[in-house]
Amino acid sequence: MKTCSRPTWAAAAAMMHIAMPLRFALGVVVAVTLWTSGISADTRAVAASGMFGAERYSLDNGLEIVVLPNHRAPIVVHMVWYRVGAADDPVGKSGLAHFLEHLMFKGTPRYPDGEFSEIVARNGGRENAFTSSDYTGYFQRISKDRLALVMELEADRMRNLVLVEETVLPERDVVLEERSSRTDNNPGALLGERLNATLYARHPYGTPIIGWRHEIEQLTLDDAITFYDRHYAPDNAILVVAGDVTGPEVLALAEEYYGAIAPRDVPARVRPQEPPPIAPRRVTYVDPQVSEPSISRHFLAPSYVAGESQHAVPLQVLAELLGGKSTSRLYRDLVVEQGIAGWAGASYRPMALDRTSFAVYLSVKPGGDVAAAEAALDRAIDDLLTNGVTEKEVKAARDRMSASVFYALDSPSGIANIFGNAMVIGMDTVDVETWAERVAAVTVEDVMAAAQYVLQPARSVTGHLLPSGSEQ
């Protein structure tokens, strides 16, 4: 109740780049001393004895492997993450990474179109795939005795995908329908696209993951094949297996199925970077489908690995105390006390390869004054920057975030997502294992330094989503 909207699950989930937008019920939260990992004798293994018991291996062809043993149920989650996402789309071909994600189900000589999914289904598996700005991932949830089967299928399509016009063109139409469902029928998503496009003057995070419609329409078979040949290779991939397995088991199977695929010397990801932000920006979008106004403000912010990354964990604490729950500053102030907003909150996604965003948002109560609501939001931020946060607030936020790690242990899929996302942006499993310790070390001064650094008007774009008839 009353946490608006945003998956701002503190800890574990907040470490993920974002909530899986599908209907991923990631139960998040976790406990600290649960598991000791099986320490592998294999020299390639770096076995951490953190709370998740993550084990890390690699193959000679460059494939990175993370194993997350969890013996609650006799099932596994098998995932392959490629270090390529929408922010790596060629200029003018937005949506290509996501389009290829769809096309990865179109068959190989060994398993022609449709067979991959049919085999997984027939074996009691569930599967899907996902694309973000930084990665593309494929996964199956299945009985543990079928792990070899899904590995064989996934390894096969890492190298042997066959694409032809007859399957590629209808799938492009599917993606256009997907764009309609997610974005074009949805005013909030339409504004979100424009906000990103404005926040990022140069960096491709400003381009929608699914692509601009006029560019999706022009994507070709050749585009897809070129992209696949360039980016899909073991040296550009991370295998994550969570569930009722051991590291040595997974390593042996991975050698067998993925080991024979030759590396491709995938070029390093080089993306254009943002110039220093110097001017606040505003975007207003009016749509007849909107029933009540809402305001959001996004600030260009460091990630775990980009920009002033020492602020990343303190910014997570800031997001939690500012707008994480019904007891947060923004909710108490704007919703409960002033009664000017219906909902209010904050969110921050530190798990990104390049600089990301810190956001605050509120919905204006029906009949409310949008300008007054924005002024109240400004005052709340000013108050925080001027008067600071209390030790009590910071401690409560830290404790909640630490606790959330325990809930994550309850969900193998959720844990696999966190580790996959971390690895794909160049972090190590140890960084995830020790996250709770870094949270626990955050001080009031750290939070304030991060807030002063990020919550500057010059770094921001403010979006207004307004009902028709309320044009300013």
Taking the complex as a whole, how short is the minimal distance between the CB of residue 355 and another protein, in angstroms?
Answer: 14
Site residues for another protein, 450-469, by CB under 8 A, read 463, 465
- Chain centroid to CA 105: 22
Q: What's the rounded Cα separation, in Å, for the pair 26 and 413?
A: 7
Taking the complex as a whole, how short is the minimal distance between the CB of residue 394 and another protein, in angstroms?
Answer: 13
Site string for another protein, 330-359 (x = CB under 8 A): --x--xx--x--xx-x-x-x---------x
What are the distances in angstroms from CA 225 to CA 13, 39, 232, 402?
34, 41, 10, 44
Give how many residues touch another protein by CB under 8 A.
114
Stretch that binds another protein, among 378-386, 398-406, 439-447, 451-459 (CB under 8 A): 398-406
Work out the widest C-alpha separation in the chain, in whole angstroms: 69
Q: Which of 344, 335, 284 minimizes the C-alpha distance to 470?
A: 284
Taking the complex as a whole, how short is the minimal distance between the CB of residue 260 and another protein, in angstroms?
Answer: 26
- Chain centroid to CA 393: 27
Q: What's the rounded Cα separation, in Å, for the pair 409 and 407?
A: 5
Site residues for another protein, 196-215, by CB under 8 A, read 196, 208-210
Site residues for another protein, 307-326, by CB under 8 A, read 325-326
Q: Where are the beta strands (DSSP E) in 54-134?
A: 55-58, 64-69, 75-82, 126-131
Site residues for another protein, 363-392, by CB under 8 A, read 363, 365-366
Query: Taking the CB of residue 217, how many other CB atoms lie within 10 A of it?
Result: 13
Alpha helices by DSSP H, listed for 388-411, are 391-408
Nearer to another protein, 401 or 447 (CB): 401
Q: What's the rounded Cα separation, in Å, for the pair 2 and 411?
A: 24
Site residues for another protein, 81-140, by CB under 8 A, read 98, 101-102, 104-105, 114, 117-118, 121-133
Taking the complex as a whole, how short is the minimal distance between the CB of residue 154 and another protein, in angstroms?
Answer: 14
Nearer to another protein, 20 or 455 (CB): 20
Given the residues 55, 64, 101, 374, the one annotated as active site:
101
Stretch that binds another protein, among 42-50, 233-241, 245-253, 286-294 (CB under 8 A): 286-294
Q: Is the distance from CB of 203 to CB of 196 less than 8 angstroms?
A: no
Q: What's the rounded Cα separation, in Å, for the pair 144 and 422?
A: 24
Taking the complex as a whole, how short is the minimal distance between the CB of residue 60 and another protein, in angstroms?
Answer: 31
Site residues for another protein, 217-276, by CB under 8 A, read none
Taking the complex as a whole, how short is the minimal distance between the CB of residue 202 and another protein, in angstroms?
Answer: 19
Site string for another protein, 136-175 (x = CB under 8 A): -----xxx-------------------------xxxxxxx
The angle subtended at Cα 301 by Cα 300 and Cα 306, nearest 5°, is 120
Q: Is the distance from CB of 390 to CB of 444 less than 8 angstroms?
A: yes
101 has catalytic annotation: yes
Q: Is the distance from CB of 425 to CB of 271 less than 8 angstroms?
A: no
Site residues for another protein, 10-39, by CB under 8 A, read 17-25, 27, 29, 31, 34
What is the set of active-site residues?
A: 101
